[in-house]
């Protein structure tokens, strides 16, 4: 189709606001539909039947490379031209493009309107600011945007994306450290997603203005560039979004264990002492951390020669106890001649600079610093190679901090150049580009081993390279609840491996809060205890004997669940489904899910419902979605679709297994690197609907799984035949479990509750006789 419109368009001026105006010319070029208005140009492309991209720029602006998107558009769908509109059918969606003026509306196959421009305004510019005004549906809910404070349902709130070192943030602060300009709209039993791929400072208003007809989003600069997702469920929208922006790799198994951190363990002796105490006290743990004080004067890629005189010896000793070491890196490179990274960076011009070529300088921990220009591939490669100073002695994980980027109290001047850009255009992607450099570099250095990368700042797509944590929270009950919401919301943006500082980073928790937060720990995808300098140490034995016992039991619960957790991460790897799932994923259209009393609840994997509770109460209301639920600790059965009052003593966080749940567990081990007893426990909770779970296992630390070196089998429960079916194992990997112990819950008093079967690769049918 190549047709010029005859109707004259005009550029609308309304005061200082430029509206997009009428479509004057429409043509299909390769896989794009190009629409011109007087002052702007729109390009429509199709990425899949349920993914449509709209890009509107001021005329002739060159397209930007995306930091997030890893896919190319498909062929353009058939267009149908009417007098005032063009429609484009993808098979699953219909995009209606009104021409006078230019407006976009998205419909599903049944002709239901999913989302549309506000018919009055559509896309507009005010100077360089670009905003799209959208129709707000009565009762429309919004979820997403990742690391944002506030309610699960973001209706009535507005947000800014501008990656910030939010050191003293509260449960209201915005912005925090990360940018994910992706949200999901919910109305009339329908769902849609919208990803605004623009790294400039951006704004989202979910009906927060008094005008109740519009929601809007936009940015300080760049183009209107969004992907509309029209799938009929949140889960499928997440699958589509992570198809577009990538999915996580399998994490190293050890990183799923308990992680002990502190700002800072000040010497090798202290690191080893804490590790030894964990073993002596039989508190399972896999990871020790070194925060900034391991370095020589905070110079990245160095070790303090006095306090960490022999890093290899320390790491070997840790390894002999079953521990891995993670060390922190910041972007700021100290200005000091004779310091390798400084000399190389200056020589090669690897640092961000002013337009006159002078390197930008700011103060951080090392004093005056320069900042690597991670937007350049040669800089990323150099940064990646530099990790040899850490990988040579045996560091296994790399913690990227301060990469908003942070500098003491300073706004980075806007004219500082990063790659082909200036700061305001790409600040939000600095953490992503640093993490990418860290990941690619350490992956190369570690050969076939999986690096563990952790980052504070991020942009969409970060899941391809790194785990994240939510930064400097505080030791309060409000932060415990906020942390659950942040994790759940980050799960709606393609991330799964997410942590919060257990116990709270700033301030001192009461013993009760420390215990409560640790009881949530098993159900936080990354389980890390961390705390700030000057605050009380947080190691599990510092809270009294009885509390230590409870914390140990909670950490043991984490280790028991690792087979389940690992298999759930496989799901994140293959479909983008997060490990911690807000109830809004499975129960999108049920009102109580968004009730502030229940909005912190989540499903951990497909079948465990977790209700976070503050430390100051001993019982709590829990919303159980439809179905039947079993309290994990007592086996008590509850009908769903109701609110129950659940006992919540500090020693027993309310956690419920869904009827039909199939949960693989193992016996407690002190580290994932220790051989267990070879028994896989398979817990099944009776239900009246057929259920299944995809079991997955691999060597836990190499990339061989990408070449079928895994052990995967579909586990099913069929209530009609009362059978448990362990499907035939796929892949080359031999399971670490010799036998499977079936443990049946809720199957009635007369049935035996356990069976043992040999874990070979053949299909196994177990019929449960009454
Ligand atoms: O200016 O490295 O969020 O986890 O312990 C503070 C010291 C710098 C901030 C991180 C925190 C870390 C701390 N860092």
Split at pLDDT 50, 70, 90, the class of 16 is low
pLDDT of residue 7 exceeding 60, the answer is no
Question: Where along the chain do its domains lie?
Answer: 5-245, 253-326+384-408+427-581, 677-769
Catalytic residue, candidates 249, 359, 404, 701: 404
- Distance in Å, CA 401 to ligand 1 centroid: 7
pLDDT of residue 713 exceeding 50, the answer is yes
For the CA of 364, the closest atom of ligand 1 is 1
Q: Is 73 exposed, middle or buried (0-12, 13-18, 19+ CB in 10 A)?
A: middle
Catalytic residue, candidates 472, 501, 556, 652: 472
Split at pLDDT 50, 70, 90, the class of 24 is confident
Pocket test for ligand 1, best of 291, 405, 407, 410 (most atoms within 8 A of CB): 291
Nearest to 656 by CA among 647, 668, 666: 647
Catalytic residue, candidates 43, 291, 401, 548: 401
CB 468 within 8 A of CB 455: yes
- Distance in Å, CA 380 to ligand 1 centroid: 23
| 443 sits in which H/E element | helix 430-445
User: Which residues is 662 bridged to in the sheet?
Assistant: 684
- Distance in Å, CA 329 to ligand 1 centroid: 10
Query: Which phi-psi region, left, alpha or beta, contains residue 471 (left: φ > 0; alpha: ψ -120 to 50)?
Result: left
- Distance in Å, CA 407 to ligand 1 centroid: 12
Average pLDDT over residues 738-753: 82
Least confident of 262-276, 347-361, 409-423: 409-423
- Distance in Å, CA 371 to ligand 1 centroid: 17
Per-residue pLDDT tens digits for 216-231: 999 999 999 999 999 9
pLDDT of residue 8 exceeding 70, the answer is no
Shortest-distance Cα residue to atom 2 of ligand 1: 292
Per-residue pLDDT tens digits for 644-693: 999 999 999 999 999 999 999 999 999 999 999 999 999 999 999 999 99
What pLDDT, on a 0 to 100 scale, did the predictor assign at position 749?
60
pLDDT greater at residue 115 or residue 759: 115
Pocket test for ligand 1, best of 401, 458, 501 (most atoms within 8 A of CB): 401
Q: What is the full DSSP assignment across 120-181?
A: TT-EEEETTEEEEEEEPPTT-EEEE-SS--S-SS-TT-EEEE-----TT--TT----SEE--
- Strand runs (DSSP E) across 244-341, as ranges? 259-260, 287-290, 324-329, 333-334
Q: What is the full DSSP assignment across 59-84?
A: TTPPPPPPSS------PPPPEEE-SS
- Distance in Å, CA 456 to ligand 1 centroid: 10
Active site residue 18: no
Average pLDDT over residues 23-35: 91
Per-residue pLDDT tens digits for 616-638: 999 999 999 999 999 999 999 99
Active site residue 401: yes
CB 397 within 8 A of CB 255: yes
Q: How many CA atoms lie within 13 A of 214 on its CB side?
A: 18
Least confident of 369-373, 726-730, 756-760: 756-760
Average pLDDT over residues 252-267: 98
What pLDDT, on a 0 to 100 scale, did the predictor assign at position 18?
78
Per-residue pLDDT tens digits for 163-219: 999 999 999 999 999 999 999 999 999 999 999 999 999 999 999 987 889 999 999
CB 432 within 8 A of CB 461: yes
The answer to whether the Cα torsion of 220, 222, 228, 233 is positive or negative is negative
- Distance in Å, CA 469 to ligand 1 centroid: 11
What pLDDT, on a 0 to 100 scale, did the predictor assign at position 11?
44
pLDDT of residue 23 exceeding 80, the answer is yes
**Cβ-Cβ contacts under 8 Å for 320 (sequence gap 6 or more):** none
CB 260 within 8 A of CB 502: no
CATH code of domain 677-769: 2.60.40.1180
| 295 sits in which H/E element | none
Split at pLDDT 50, 70, 90, the class of 369 is very high
pLDDT greater at residue 13 or residue 396: 396
Residues with CB under 6 A from ligand 1: 263, 291-292, 328, 401-402, 456, 471-472, 530
For the CA of 291, the closest atom of ligand 1 is 2
* Kind of pairing between the strands at 421-422 and 178-179: unpaired
Percent of the chain at pLDDT exceeding 90: 91
For the CA of 532, the closest atom of ligand 1 is 5
Q: Which CATH superfamily is domain 5-245 in?
A: glycosyl hydrolase (family 31) (2.60.40.1760)
**Cβ-Cβ contacts under 8 Å for 405 (sequence gap 6 or more):** 331, 332, 371, 412, 427, 430, 431, 457
Computed over every residue of the chain, the mean pLDDT equals 95
Per-residue pLDDT tens digits for 62-83: 778 899 999 999 999 889 998 8
Per-residue pLDDT tens digits for 454-501: 999 999 999 999 999 999 999 999 999 999 999 999 999 999 999 999
CA 541, CA 403: separation in Å to the nearest integer?
33
CA 374, CA 419: separation in Å to the nearest integer?
8
Same CATH fold assignment for domains 5-245 and 253-326+384-408+427-581: no
CA 619, CA 649: separation in Å to the nearest integer?
7
Percent of the chain at pLDDT exceeding 70: 97
Split at pLDDT 50, 70, 90, the class of 59 is confident
Split at pLDDT 50, 70, 90, the class of 378 is very high
Active site residue 286: no
Per-residue pLDDT tens digits for 315-330: 999 999 999 999 999 9
Pocket test for ligand 1, best of 176, 262, 398, 402 (most atoms within 8 A of CB): 402
For the CA of 401, the closest atom of ligand 1 is 10
Peptide bond into 513 cis (omega under 30): no
* Kind of pairing between the strands at 467-469 and 498-502: parallel
Average pLDDT over residues 279-297: 98
Q: How many CA atoms lie within 13 A of 723 on its CB side?
A: 9
* Kind of pairing between the strands at 178-179 and 458-459: parallel
pLDDT of residue 12 exceeding 50, the answer is no
CA 473, CA 483: separation in Å to the nearest integer?
8
Average pLDDT over residues 590-594: 98
Query: Would you mind telling me the total number of residues written for the chain in this entry?
Result: 770
Report the top-level CATH class of 253-326+384-408+427-581.
alpha beta
pLDDT of residue 13 exceeding 50, the answer is no
User: Which residues is 712 bridged to in the sheet?
Assistant: 696, 730
């Amino acid at each position: 189709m190549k047709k010029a419109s005859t109707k004259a368009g005009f550029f609308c001026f309304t005061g200082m606001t430029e509206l997009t105006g009428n479509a004057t010319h429409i043509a299909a070029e390769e896989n794009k539909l190009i629409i011109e208005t007087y002052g702007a140009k729109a390009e429509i492309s199709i990425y899949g039947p349920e993914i449509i991209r709209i890009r509107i720029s001021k005329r002739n602006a060159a397209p930007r490379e995306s930091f997030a998107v890893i896919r190319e558009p498909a062929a353009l769908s058939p267009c149908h031209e009417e007098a005032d509109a063009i429609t484009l059918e993808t098979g699953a969606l219909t995009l209606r493009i009104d021409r006078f003026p230019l407006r976009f509306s998205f419909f599903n196959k049944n002709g239901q309107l999913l989302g549309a421009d506000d018919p009055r305004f559509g896309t507009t510019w005010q100077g360089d600011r670009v905003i799209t005004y959208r129709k707000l549906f009565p009762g429309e809910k919004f979820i997403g945007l990742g690391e944002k404070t506030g309610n699960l349902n973001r209706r009535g709130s507005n947000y800014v994306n501008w990656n910030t070192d939010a050191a003293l943030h509260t449960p209201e602060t915005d912005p925090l450290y990360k940018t994910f300009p992706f949200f999901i709209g919910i109305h009339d039993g329908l769902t849609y997603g919208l990803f605004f791929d623009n790294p400039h400072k951006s704004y989202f208003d979910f009906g927060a203005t008094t005008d109740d007809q519009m929601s809007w989003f936009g940015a300080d600069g760049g183009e209107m560039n969004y992907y509309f997702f029209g799938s009929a469920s949140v889960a499928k929208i997440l699958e589509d979004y992570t198809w577009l922006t990538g999915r996580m790799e399998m994490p190293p198994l050890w990183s799923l264990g308990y992680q002990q951190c502190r700002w800072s363990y000040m010497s090798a002796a202290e690191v080893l002492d804490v590790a030894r105490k964990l073993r002596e006290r039989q508190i399972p743990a896999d990871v020790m951390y070194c925060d900034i004080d391991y370095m020589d004067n905070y110079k990245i890629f160095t070790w303090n020669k006095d306090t960490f005189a022999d890093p290899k010896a320390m790491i070997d000793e840790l390894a002999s106890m079953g521990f891995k070491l993670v060390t922190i890196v910041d972007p700021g490179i100290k200005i000091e001649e004779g310091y390798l990274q400084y000399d190389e960076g200056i020589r090669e011009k690897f640092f961000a600079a002013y337009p006159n070529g002078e390197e930008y300088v700011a103060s951080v921990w090392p004093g005056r610093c320069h900042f690597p220009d991670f937007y350049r591939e040669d800089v990323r490669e150099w940064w990646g190679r530099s990790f040899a100073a850490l990988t040579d002695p045996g560091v296994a994980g790399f913690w990227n901090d301060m990469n908003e980027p942070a500098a003491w109290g300073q706004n980075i001047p806007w004219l500082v150049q990063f790659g082909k850009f200036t700061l305001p255009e790409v600040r939000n992607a600095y953490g992503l580009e640093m993490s990418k450099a860290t990941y690619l570099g350490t992956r190369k250095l570690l050969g076939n081993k999986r690096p563990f990368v952790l980052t504070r700042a991020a942009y969409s797509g970060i899941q391809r390279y790194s785990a994240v944590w939510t930064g400097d929270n505080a030791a309060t009950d409000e932060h415990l609840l906020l942390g659950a919401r942040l994790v759940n919301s980050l799960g709606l943006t393609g991330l799964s491996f997410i942590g919060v500082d257990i116990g709270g980073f700033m301030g001192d928790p009461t013993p009760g809060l420390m215990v409560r937060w640790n009881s949530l720990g098993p159900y936080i995808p990354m389980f890390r205890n961390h705390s700030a300098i000057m605050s009380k140490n947080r190691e599990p034995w510092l809270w009294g004997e009885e509390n230590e016992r409870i914390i140990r039991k909670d950490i043991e619960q984490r280790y028991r669940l690792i087979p389940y957790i690992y298999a759930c991460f496989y799901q994140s790897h293959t479909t983008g489904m997060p490990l911690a799932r807000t109830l809004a994923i499975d129960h999108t259209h049920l009102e109580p899910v968004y009730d502030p009393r229940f909005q912190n609840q989540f499903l951990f994997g497909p079948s465990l419902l977790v209700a976070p509770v503050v430390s100051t109460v001993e019982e709590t209301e829990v919303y159980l979605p439809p179905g039947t639920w079993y309290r994990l600790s007592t086996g008590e059965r509850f009908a769903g679709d109701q609110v129950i009052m659940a006992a919540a003593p500090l020693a027993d966080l309310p956690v419920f297994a869904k009827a039909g749940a199939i949960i693989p567990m193992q016996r407690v081990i002190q580290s994932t690197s220790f051989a267990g007893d070879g028994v896989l426990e398979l817990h099944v909770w009776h239900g009246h609907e057929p259920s299944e779970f995809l079991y997955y296992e691999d060597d836990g630390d190499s990339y061989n799984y990408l070449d079928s070196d895994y052990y995967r089998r579909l586990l099913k429960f069929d209530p009609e035949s009362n059978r448990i079916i362990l499907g035939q194992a796929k892949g080359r990997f031999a399971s670490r479990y010799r036998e499977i112990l079936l443990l049946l819950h809720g199957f009635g008093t007369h049935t035996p509750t356990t069976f043992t079967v040999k874990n070979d690769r053949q299909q196994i049918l177990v019929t449960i006789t009454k």
